[in-house]
Amino acid sequence: MNHMPLKTAAYAAHSATTPLEPWSLERRDPGVEEVLIEILFCGVCHSDLHFVRNEWHNAVYPMVPGHEIVGKVTQVGSSVSKYKVGDTVGVGCFVDSCRSCAACTSGEEQYCESGATFTYNAPDKHGTAMTYGGYSTQIVVDQNYVVRVPENLPLYAAAPLLCAGITTYSPLRHFGVGEGTKVAVVGLGGLGHMAVKFAKAMGAHVTVLSQSEKKRQDAMALGADDYLATSDPATFENNVKRFDFILDTVSAEHDLNAYLTLVRLDGRMVLVGVPDPTPLSAMPLIFARRSLSGSLIGGIRETQEMLDFCGEKGIVCEVEMISMSQINEAYERMLKSDVRYRFVIDMASLK
């Protein structure tokens, strides 16, 4: 096996204020436990925009975003046993972890106590460089951090499952949503529309809570049983203690206390969005023994479980395909919520 660096076409951000532009990076040759993946499609997550524009104050440039990756294995290391050349695979939000802490050994690598190695903008364990993500034509990943994509799913629509999918599947599964659970989904964007699909497929009665009436038709088409506009004060007055479980996917500022009142006695609300800090009152928690939780993506085992569930149920994201050269326009449209419901880059456009 040669050990020449693999020249790789990509798009990168070079500062918080300049557009992403074509760039070339060098991937390492696959190690004994690693696979080389030709990236076919990469989803565009809202967190890509946060990272690129340094809104979380930890950006390292140049940065190649992208953590909703699907593609084909083109080369395997000598000790790889899980995959072979030609396999259809996915890579999500992280590509390594410490492998020894309590979280890692229990299959919850996303909560690695040392911090998981994220797919981009993280120090790469294999050198001094940072990790570079899926806005590129190929990537090298340890076989233990790769998942298999069911062959019956259209790959372009499966790509966002690697973040938007697992982010919503994990809390629904972890907290026992199932047949007859009364679930409300706050927000109908990239995350929310997947939450509706998953909760419905798990047997729940699903209500969408969205600001206005404009997404009602979409919500019902996705499988929701009911729809409530949160701009109407009557929504909060008339639905106190209605839901067993609320999944809040919204990252914009909103009043968590108001939504908590919609949760029944001993019910739970889970945050997967990252809103700006808002005052949280103890009262709605105390007076109905409600719980407020958070959830972050999923481990490798659970991500594979989610993909298999999607294969069984025929679940994929609603996507709009773009070429790599349209990424800056796509970011501007994301800021206006002008996407139904996830952009996916066709990486053939970069070759």
What's the chain's average pLDDT?
96
Q: Which of 1-15, 74-88, 123-137, 279-293 has the lowest mean pLDDT?
A: 1-15
Give pLDDT tens digits for 95-109. Answer: 999 999 999 999 999
Higher-confidence position of 126 and 222: 222
Of the pLDDT bands very low, low, confident and very high (cuts 50, 70, 90), residue 289 is very high
pTM equals 0.96
Average pLDDT over residues 302-314: 98
How would residue 205 be classed by pLDDT, with cut points 50, 70 and 90?
very high
247 pLDDT exceeds 90?
A: yes
> What is the set of domains in the chain, with CATH numbers?
6-163+298-350 (3.90.180.10), 165-294 (3.40.50.720)
Q: How many CB atoms lie within 10 A of CB 234?
A: 9
What is residue 1's predicted lDDT score, i.e. its pLDDT?
A: 44
Task: Please enumerate in sequence order all residues whose Cβ is within 8 A of that of 89, keeping only pairs 6 or more positions apart, or say none.
Answer: 35, 37, 70, 71, 72, 73, 83, 146, 147, 148, 149
Place of tokens 């009262």: 283
Mean pLDDT computed over 52-76: 97
Q: How confident is the model at residue 3, as a pLDDT?
A: 59
- Write the pLDDT tens digit of every residue in 145-170: 999 999 999 999 999 999 999 999 99
Cβ 286 vs Cβ 311: under 8 Å: no
Q: Is residue 52 over pLDDT 90?
A: yes
